[in-house]
Amino acid sequence: MRRFETRKASILLLFSVVLMISGCFENKPRSNELSGDGSRKLKIYYPYVEDFHVKYGTLFNSRYPNIEIEVIQSTDAGDGEFESASPLEKLNRMLERQKPDVLILNQDEYNELSSLGKLYDLEPIMKQEQFDVEGYAPGVIDMLRERGNGSLFGLTTTINARFLYYNVDMFKDKHMDLPVNSMQWRELIELAAPFHNGRTDEKATYGFIDNEASDVMWSISTTMGLQLFDAEGKKVLLQSDGWKQAFQLTVDAIQKKAVSVRPSGQSGDPGSRYIMDMKKFLNGDIPMIISDSSFASRIGESSKMNWGMVTAPINPARMDESTMTYATEIFAIAANSNNKQDAWAFVSFMNGVEMAKIVSRTGGSDLPARMEYLPRSLERDREILYMLKPSSHRVNEQWKKNIPESFYQTYTPMLNEALHAIASREKTLEQAITELEQQAQIKLDLTRNTTDR
């Protein structure tokens, strides 16, 4: 209910901003860099039709009322042929059948379509129209270029970033040093461990909370940039120093009671667990939580605690980047679009200065990609919010290597069991990893054989 009310308030604010600025945009001449078929109709790929009109459609039509928009999704309704297809296969099918002009993509989609030559290079038109990229947060444009193999095929209005929030007074009560920026996971675990009160019942206290042991493991391994599979996605690879280190760090966190996780064999909804985590932090029951930038506003609204925030744990090999910072939605133009003029009008409008101002006023969990338009509620932590660049090396293996979802459904319980077996000293780390790799390989082969039929 709270989420619905927040979204409703954001929508009302958005409409008021539209009315205020609808006549304030500067008219620009059409560029001769682009082509147009004169249809004044744009086909835009976006997964959620209603959300599109709330977030983008109404705003765009206030500036360009003569351009008709058709929102398309990744698959045809009722088409059972591709129900079991991979996300990339579904996206390619949509491109072939629907032929969109504009695509609003996540980072994985952007990576793949740019590598396949299916996106239009924006650099020439941006240079010709002197499109301003100077105000973007450090690393955002560089990340988009690197993911585009050196070319800029898209722009983003917002980024999502996660941070470590902490209760200053709880640290002072224990005469402990406060968390600092650019910590590694080992340092965070050492900070969290002293907050355990030795109890095992519902009144036990911890440094921070997560859902399952596997969630801790995924966070650590993602930060470290570890790959679970070989390049073709056909072989499970756990026998490496990096994976052994990630297993050991996770086990240390469990054994030292630095983190509260569900017992082995007990699963639960991560969303409800996170809500409990937030309440405990706001009530002063736990000293630390990892959350996005919007949580800073929530603390201010809900609590008078003395709090601070620092960057989330980093990979020491890439100290200026964060795998927890990424572009949320990337606006791109299809390479084969017949209406690139209006497509560029949409992309440039959505990524321009005026849109950045709107994003800063409507709130939400994302940060403006343009730093100068930070919401007022976040001004006190401006330096920290944009301290780390989005990681250009963050790879979603499931997408990139076409790993069936059913593999993860069976692998996650096995991973939890292995971690708890090591933590309870039922198995050595070497023994558990060897057995897990063998079991996971069997499951991967089985799921691949099933989906390839």
Residue among 260, 272, 265 nearest 203 (CA): 260
Residue 434 scores a pLDDT above 80:
yes
Do 278 and 260 belong together in one domain? yes
pLDDT of 230 reads 94
Same domain? For 150 and 184 the reply is no
DSSP-derived secondary structure for 134-170: TTBPTTHHHHHHHHTTTS--EEESEEEEEEEEEEHHH
Using the 8-state DSSP alphabet, how is residue 236 labeled?
A: B
At residue 63, φ and ψ (nearest 5 deg) are -100, -35
Burial state string for 272-301 with b = 16 or more CB within 10 A and e = fewer than 16: ebbebbbebbbeebbbbbbbebbbbebbee
pLDDT at position 363? 63
List the domain range (segments joined by +) for residue 404: 161-323+396-451
Percent of the chain topping pLDDT 70: 86
Residue 30 and residue 77 in one domain: yes
- 209 DSSP β-pair partners: 260
Q: Considering the domain boundaries, does residue 375 fall inside one?
A: no
Examine the pLDDT at 397 and tell me if it is beyond 60: yes
Per-residue pLDDT for 304 more than 60?
yes
Tokens of 411: 């692998």
Question: Is 85 a domain residue?
Answer: yes
Question: In percent, how much of the chain has pLDDT > 90?
Answer: 61
Structure tokens at 4: 């619905």
The pLDDT value recorded for residue 224 is 94
- Please enumerate in sequence order all residues whose Cβ is within 8 A of that of 449, keeping only pairs 6 or more positions apart, or say none: none
Q: Mark whether 216 and 266 lie in a shared domain.
A: yes
Residues 295 and 360: their CA atoms lie apart, in Å, by 15
Same domain, 416 and 274: yes
303 and 335 housed in the same domain: no
Highest mean pLDDT among 131-135, 335-339, 355-359: 335-339
Question: Both 166 and 214 in a single domain?
Answer: yes
Tens of pLDDT, residue by residue over 175-192, are: 999 999 999 999 999 999
> pLDDT tens digit string along 377-390?
788 888 899 999 99
| Res 19: pLDDT | 41
Query: Does residue 373 fall inside a structural domain?
Result: no
The pTM for the full model equals 0.87
Q: Is residue 64 part of a domain?
A: yes
- Give the tens place of pLDDT for each residue, 201-231: 888 899 999 889 999 999 999 999 999 999 9
* 3-52 pLDDT per residue, tens: 334 444 444 444 444 444 444 334 444 444 555 555 689 999 998 888 89
Q: Do 211 and 258 reside in the same domain of the chain?
A: yes
Of the candidate ranges 107-116, 364-373, 390-399, the one whose mean pLDDT is the lowest? 390-399
Residues 137 and 41 in one domain: yes
Interior angle at CA 386, CA 380 and CA 389, nearest 5: 165
Residue 95 located in a structural domain: yes
Residues 112 and 172 reside in one and the same domain: no
Does the structure show a pLDDT above 80 at 133? Answer: yes
Strands 154-156 and 321-322: unpaired
In this structure, is residue 367 part of a structural domain?
A: no
Does the pLDDT at position 328 exceed 50?
Answer: yes
- Say yes or no: 115 and 142 in one domain: yes
Residues 191 and 146 in one domain: no
Give the pLDDT score at 232.
92
**CATH number, domain with residue 220:** 3.40.190.10
Over residues 122-134, the mean pLDDT reads 92
Question: How many structural domains is the chain composed of?
Answer: 2
| pLDDT reported for residue 206 | 94
Q: What is the pLDDT of residue 394?
A: 65
* pLDDT of residue 236 exceeding 60: yes
Inside any domain, residue 371: no
Instruction: Identify any residues that bridge with 330 across adjacent strands, giving them in sequence order.
Output: 105, 156
* Residue 245 within any structural domain of the chain: yes
